[in-house]
């Protein structure tokens, strides 16, 4: 007499749902991750009580007024646009981005106008940037 054998069932763990969940988690983390581009600009902040360093090369001096107007080496710029600042810096430096650039801002100038000047210098590749300060008044 021939008996039918019962089919064998695999008692192992089915990995297909686990792989699907891991794949979905991977996609979720890839989509929700923010990628930031960190740019750096070397800034030399002078000490307020220090002596000025001797200058070998004529520096570029970018002035920021209280109202947010810009002046480069004594010449007023026509507007506050970053492209105007970049063009003036490029013309004044002659394309030499190794020249020192000094940003002198009024104490009451907006932070945005100073950052715009720094951004223009960064976009052109200036890496020798100084922020001018003055010694505190003794009372």
Q: Is residue 111 a contact partner of residue 24, using CB atoms and an 8 Å limit?
A: no
119 belongs to a structural domain: yes
DSSP letter, residue 128: -
23 belongs to a structural domain: no
pLDDT digits (tens, 9 = 90+) for 89-133: 888 888 788 888 888 888 778 888 888 888 888 888 888 888 876
98 belongs to a structural domain: yes
For 121, the domain range is 43-48+57-131
Domains in the chain: how many in total? 1
pLDDT digits (tens, 9 = 90+) for 107-116: 778 888 888 8
Q: Note the pLDDT of residue 51.
A: 64
Q: How far is CA 95 from CA 22, 33, 89, 91, 137, in A?
A: 52, 38, 8, 7, 38
Specify the residue for token string 């054998």.
Answer: 5
User: What pTM was estimated for this model as a whole?
Assistant: 0.56
Q: Note the pLDDT of residue 41.
A: 46
Q: Which residues of 99-131 are buried (b: 16+ CB within 10 A; e: fewer)?
A: bbbbbbbeeebeeebbebbbbbbbebebebbbe
Q: What is the token pair recorded at 137?
A: 């008044």
């Amino acid at each position: 007499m021939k008996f039918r054998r019962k089919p064998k069932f695999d008692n192992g763990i089915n990995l297909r749902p686990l792989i699907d969940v891991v794949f979905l988690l991977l996609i979720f983390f890839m989509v929700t991750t923010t990628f930031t581009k960190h740019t750096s600009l070397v800034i030399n902040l002078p000490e307020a009580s220090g002596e000025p360093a001797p200058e070998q090369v004529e520096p570029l001096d970018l002035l920021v007024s209280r109202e947010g107007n810009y002046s480069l080496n004594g010449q007023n710029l026509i507007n506050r646009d970053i492209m105007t600042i970049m063009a003036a810096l490029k013309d004044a430096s002659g394309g030499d981005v190794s020249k020192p650039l000094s940003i002198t801002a009024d104490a009451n100038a907006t932070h945005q106008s100073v950052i715009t000047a720094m951004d223009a210098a960064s976009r052109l590749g200036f890496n020798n940037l100084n922020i001018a300060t003055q010694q505190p008044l003794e009372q």
